Amino acid sequence: MKNIAVIGAGTMGNGIAHTFAQFNYNVQLIDVSQVALDKGIATISKNLDRMVAKEKISEADKIKTLANITTFTSIKDGVKYASLVIEAATENEILKKKIFKELDEVCPEDTVLATNTSSISITQIAAVTNRPDKVIGMHFMNPVPIMKLVEIIRGYNTSDEVMKFTTDLTNKINKVSVAVNDYPGFVANRILMPMINESIETLYNGVAGVAEIDTVMKLGMAHPMGPLQLADFIGLDVCLSILNVMHDGFKNPKYAPCPLLVNMVMAGKLGVKSGEGFYNYSAGKKSDTVANMFR
Q: Is 252 left (phi over 0), alpha (psi -120 to 50) or beta?
A: beta
Q: Is 223 a catalytic residue?
A: no
Q: CA 140 to CA 146: how far, in whole Å?
A: 10
Q: Which of 68, 83, 121, 151 is catalytic?
A: 151
Question: Is residue 126 within 8 Å of residue 45, measured between CB atoms?
Answer: no
Peptide bond into 143 cis (omega under 30): yes
Dihedral angle computed from the Cα positions of residues 69, 73, 75 and 81, in that order, rounded to the nearest 10 degrees:
-30
Q: Which residue is catalytic, options 14, 118, 197, 274?
A: 118
**Catalytic residue list contains 287:** no
Among 18, 68, 139, 241, the one annotated catalytic: 139
What is the distance between the alpha carbons of residues 68 and 62, in angstroms, rounded to a whole number? 10
Asked about 55 being catalytic, the answer comes back as: no
- 139 is a catalytic site residue: yes
Q: Which residues are catalytic?
A: 118, 139, 151, 189
